[in-house]
Amino acid sequence: MLIAISCIFVLSGCGKGNVAPPKIGVSTQQGGMDSRLLDPKITNQDVLLQRGDANIELEKRGYHAQDAASSSNSSVKILGGTQGLVQVWPNPSIQPKEGNYAENVISQAAMYYGTPYEFSSDRSDPSTFDCSDFTHWVYFSSLGMDIPKDSRSQASYVQSFSNRTYTSIDQAQRGDLLFFVPFKGTDPNNYTGIDKSIENITHVGIYLGNGKIIHTASAATGGVRIDEVANNHLTYRFVLGGSILNTK
């Protein structure tokens, strides 16, 4: 099972690298490449899945979107004054893996496979995550990039600074952030005519390539896990994707 999981984190399969991610929190109850996220018997009763992540940026008034400039010595550019978004770049002392910073991100994300879910988790403690805490922590710990701390602000960051954004999930590339509107069931008809605006975003994950995402959605679905993004409610909910490494 772990060998199969490790292959997912490698673009070209096992031939490119055959190192399994560390066993952090992985058990029969945590993590998974199973059907829990797609099983109506679980998801229809899953309040945390339906709720999405917390409005961290809105609830904490009087600070920048990222609390402060990155402590990683990366350059910053402040837009809109103290309440604006802060653009950050990878710490120049960190070398890209295989010539691509996206591989640093993927490698770091793999380390937290199976980490338990907690709504509105502590953004400074990687022992538990909600969806946007996971994406924030992965980028911060792998590249020193202190991006915003909830999914709506992360989406705004992508729209503000990315050179590559899209609304078709087919355009996703490794390391991209993918954003989703609230869960309304597994039936595609439930998503007809809904508002797919940034203000309505409640979920975010990191694209692995080959149609897969690593993310965390709820306790009932196992914490940090890997799922297909095609032909399921993630497809119906997808609203925006983009790179925060390919920036303006």
Q: Which pTM was predicted?
A: 0.81
Helix (H, G, I), strand (E, B) or coil at 87: strand
What pLDDT digit, counting tens, does each position of 110-142 carry? 999 999 999 999 999 999 999 999 999 999 999
- CA-CA-CA-CA dihedral for 127, 131, 248, 241, to nearest 10: 150
Superfamily of domain 23-242 in CATH is endopeptidase domain like (from Nostoc punctiforme) (3.90.1720.10)
Nearest to 221 by CA among 232, 210, 231: 232
Mean pLDDT of the chain: 82
Nearest to 226 by CA among 112, 101, 149: 112
Nearest to 171 by CA among 244, 100, 242, 105: 242
What pLDDT digit, counting tens, does each position of 139-176 carry? 999 999 999 999 999 999 999 999 999 999 999 999 99
Helix (H, G, I), strand (E, B) or coil at 99: coil
Q: What whole-number distance in Å separates Cα of residue 131 and Cα of residue 215?
A: 6
Nearest to 113 by CA among 10, 26, 232: 26
What's the average model confidence in pLDDT over 185-213?
Answer: 92
Helix (H, G, I), strand (E, B) or coil at 205: strand
Nearest to 121 by CA among 112, 131, 130: 130
What pLDDT digit, counting tens, does each position of 29-44 carry? 445 578 999 999 999 9
Q: What whole-number distance in Å separates Cα of residue 228 and Cα of residue 214?
A: 9
Assess whether pLDDT exceeds 60 at residue 68.
Answer: no
> What pLDDT sits at residue 75?
38
What pLDDT digit, counting tens, does each position of 144-153 carry? 999 999 999 9
